[in-house]
Amino acid sequence: MIEANQSRRARYAVFALLYLGYCISYIDRSAIALSLVAIGKEFNVGSAALGVVMSTFFIGYAAMQIPGGWIADRWGSKRVIVASVVFWSLFTLLTGLAWSLASLIAIRFIFGLGEGGYPGAAIKGVTESCARVDRPKMTALLMSSNYVGSFIAPLVIAPLILLLGWRYAFVVAGVAGVVFALVYLFAVKDTSAARGAAGNSKRVDGAATRALLKMPLMWKILITWFGMGIVSKGLDAWMPAYLLAERHLDLKSVGMLTPLPFVAASISTALAGWIFTRWFDGREKWLMAACCAISGFFLYEMYTAETVTGVIAYQSIVYFFKSFVFAGVFALPTRFLPQKLMGTGAGMVNFGGQVAGFVAPVVIGLLVSITGNYDAVFGFLIAATLLALGGSLSIRLAPEATRRLATMEEA
């Protein structure tokens, strides 16, 4: 009993560290959105160029999703997590040292490559210590860290920008990430090494990976998250600038208001795994589809709101419902994928969201540059919810396909 309690505490400690790591990653990436106006003034560039800065991160980040997950499946989650955190933290620090627009774009691209290995490895790390029945709940709970990090970011980064300037804010964030990586390195046991010593390695093979990448169900899940990822990444990237430029708020007010929708998102994501398991087991697509439709409706309400209070209130509702989709697309594969493919599967789903992360900021930046306002932007975001709605309705758990993958799980 004592050993069981110690093992349980160790699993919770690892989960807490993975959760914290995800929060740090979102604080680091959110810092650029809060710095956009200052960066634009310093480098004398407009919305289109700033959209490229935002999107460049997601090129690197998307490119590493599947490889990063595969490496975690192949060599274990710990190595990928530590390497990823160190890599992105160093380039967070270097962001504060950028000397030109071109250097900033290059740094953000490499920063994205470094951070891209974390999602698949983190989900892999959680599922290594969970029974299959608990994986959807624990995965959804882990993903709520994304919004907690995004909630914390303005509260931390905005004061740092006001106090030290945008450059030193990135330096502080980068140093914090390196410290976290060292803590994880020495505090967490390498479970892959333990399995290998026991002769029970669960390393992925080529046939399993090819079967996963050809699976239509996974591509439908990916498309669903691509559509909602347009909404998520578009609002994450441009809401601070929208509030500053269109609603005429100051940076201090933006720093106070921007976190509120993320509170709603973190609550709904944390609850989603339990709700899916309790009431929508086998019917996940219907809840996801309904949440896509509701998100589109309140995006329109957000666009037509006459007050800043209305904008933030409707944005919070959008974030609440879109986050059910976010949790669903990551929790759903844990129902049928074997553990040895969990990192690759998570990376594949997240690839769709990160491609959206590249597309959304660039398109929004161009739309603002061309039209001079955000009218077309909201139309673009609403159209993305319709794509996600169609993707979610097409999802069907095919027993024969999922069974073939499940048989690849070692005894």
Q: Which tens digit of pLDDT belongs to each residue from 136-183? A: 788 888 988 888 887 788 888 888 888 988 898 999 999 999 999 999
Confidence of residue 406 (pLDDT cuts 50, 70, 90): low
Distance CA 3, CA 107 (A): 46
Q: How many CA atoms lie within 13 A of 282 on its CB side?
A: 2
d(CA 207, CA 211): 6
88: Cα separation from own chain's centroid? 15
Each residue's pLDDT tens digit, 266-302: 899 888 888 888 888 878 899 999 999 999 999 999 9
Asked if residue 1 is part of any domain, the answer here is no
Parent domain of 169: 10-193+204-406
**Is 5 a domain residue?**
no
Q: What percent of the chain has pLDDT over 90?
A: 37
Give Cβ neighbours of residue 70 (< 8 Å, ≥ 6 apart): 120, 204, 209, 343, 344, 347
Q: What pLDDT, on a 0 to 100 scale, did the predictor assign at position 202?
A: 52
b/e sequence 275-307, b meaning 16+ C-beta within 10 Å: bbbeebeeebbebbbebbebbbebbbebbebee
* Within a domain: 373: yes
pLDDT tier for residue 204 given thresholds of 50, 70 and 90: low
pLDDT band at 400 (very low <50, low <70, confident <90, very high): very low
Q: What is the CATH number of the domain that holds 267?
A: 1.20.1250.20
Check: CB of residue 142 under 8 Å from CB of residue 122: yes
- CB–CB of 225/326 below 8 Å? yes
Mean pLDDT of the chain: 85
Query: Which one-letter DSSP state was computed for residue 132?
Result: G
pLDDT at 201 over 50: no
| pLDDT recorded at residue 410 | 45
Tokens of 340: 């040895």
Q: Note whether residue 26 is domain-resident.
A: yes
Residue 411 lies in a domain: no
Specify if 325 maps to a domain: yes
CB 20 within 8 A of CB 144: no
| Stretch (H or E) spanning 37 | helix 2-43
How many angstroms separate the CA atoms of 190 and 196, rounded? 10
Mean pLDDT along residues 395-410:
57
pLDDT of residue 192: 60
Counting the structural domains of the chain, the total is: 1
Structure tokens at 97: 């040292």
In-domain check, residue 198: no
Which pLDDT band, with edges at 50, 70 and 90, does 251 fall under? Answer: low
- Asked if residue 137 is part of any domain, the answer here is yes
pLDDT in tens, 178-192: 999 999 999 888 766
d(CA 12, CA 54): 34
pLDDT tens for each residue of 294-346? 999 999 999 998 888 889 999 999 999 999 998 899 888 888 888 788 889 98
Cα→Cα distances 115→8, 65, 328, Å: 28, 9, 22
